[in-house]
Structure 1
């Protein structure tokens, strides 16, 4: 990878030069178009992706043809956790939801470098712990909190990973990610919009009052955010 290419992935930025520089020859900058699949359920994972910009959703496809999101990955993390944990595949699908870019690395080279570098391994395992908390709290949130609270949490989490207040999200997409009917999403969006927290038009949601949106969210958002800051700072 040319040395002039900047690195904005927070995991890689956190590495000292002696751990980052040996990884550079393995990196291939790639774009992440909307809805691109980075890994498919049950298939061998050939690459890991250190997200630079944009957001990737981890989704669970269901037998009835629907899917539900269980996790989000932005420039705070990487796609390919099963490779780190010694697995060849996963039942989850990794799909780009907000376009961006990433540094791609062959899974085989990734395994070799992690084996050689204990500092890199320790950092990546802390990220896995943070992602585990996100997935666990998402399940609890979906079961116990109101749809407007869940939507506020989802929008804030997406905003943190996309690093933009303007998110290209349709009601249909949000209903799929939250696992609810589209009509329910329309009502929840209307609730947040009436409160002056967001704008919504033409398949885009814009956060206009972040502080108010945090107040409208459940405690799950703050718990997950604090864990990421604690583990990755």
Structure 2
């Protein structure tokens, strides 16, 4: 089976509008993606963590991995929930959100094919944030109990997950710094680069309202920031569709807000991921 993602569709959801409430989904049914026993091993290579595991460690997980499709706007788990399953994305992109008492949300992290959702399960902890699918795609679903057993065995998986936890905290810290010390157009530049890195494409469909909710700013501010980036020839924005025209320029515009975070994230994981 060959998994490809040709289009990413994003629309604003009422639950993400400031002042609204986030939908609570305690039971989510996923449609298992078609797979064959022969193709399963090849498909796991689309997730960087699974691809980095030695054959014996991957062989332990394979019988328990279920390839599922994650539709846009699905809540995989909410903050504080006990985690029964974890997810290894292949083509999906999932945002980790912090939800305030009044229903407002702020993005604190993002995960794609490079990572794992539900990392706190290995320590028996509850969810660190609310996980919401932003870009529909596929992922491998695994029982948290199986991951804990594999982690307890030590080996490569344990090393990778320890490093990945460090990388996640670094990402969250950088998000906090960027939100406080960088302009909205710089934050928008980083937000776009973070998604495009995980989608391996130059185009994303997204509304300004959704971006505003993820960044925790007013929609008008996003409109102004997108207009500035378009004026500088870095992106093209039309009818909810953003196309990156100049990646180098967009990275330069984002500055340390993107560069430092990416370098640190990549550096932390590079050694652990090496096979």
**TM-score bin, normalised by smaller chain:** over 0.9
**Which residue of 101, 115, 125 corresponds with 2:162?**
125
- Give the root-mean-square deviation of aligned CA atoms: 1.3
- The 8 Å contact of residues 94 and 135 in structure 2, kept in 1 or not, is answered as yes
How many residue pairs get aligned? The number is 232
Mapping for residues 65-104 of structure 1, pairs under 5 Å = 65-87=103-125, 89-90=126-127, 92-104=129-141
**Which residue of 44, 61, 84 corresponds with 2:82?**
44
How far is the alpha carbon of 1:60 from its aligned partner? 0.7
Q: 1:114 is paired with a residue of what secondary structure?
A: helix
- The 8 Å contact of residues 10 and 75 in structure 1, kept in 2 or not, is answered as yes
Structure 2 alignment gaps of length 5 or more: 1-35, 271-275
CA deviation vs aligned residue, 1:104-151 (integer Å, no higher than 9, x gap): 001111111111133211111111111111110000110011111111
CA distance in 2, matches of 1:9, 1:91: 22
- The 8 Å contact of residues 64 and 143 in structure 2, kept in 1 or not, is answered as yes
CA distance in 1, matches of 2:187, 2:89: 25
How far is the alpha carbon of 1:91 from its aligned partner? 5.1
CA distance in 1, matches of 2:89, 2:205: 18
Partner in structure 2 of residue 9 of structure 1: 47
Q: Tell me the TM-score normalised to structure 2 length.
A: 0.81
Partner in structure 1 of residue 31 of structure 2: none
Which range moves more in the overlay, 177-186 or 105-114?
105-114
CA distance in 1, matches of 2:136, 2:149: 29
| 1:216 equivalenced with 2:253 (yes/no) | yes
Q: Which runs of 4+ in 1 moved over 6 A?
A: none
CA distance in 2, matches of 1:4, 1:182: 44
CA deviation vs aligned residue, 1:172-204 (integer Å, no higher than 9, x gap): 000000000000000000011111111112222
Partner in structure 2 of residue 59 of structure 1: 97
Q: 2:91 is paired with a residue of what secondary structure?
A: strand
Q: Tell me the TM-score normalised to structure 1 length.
A: 0.95
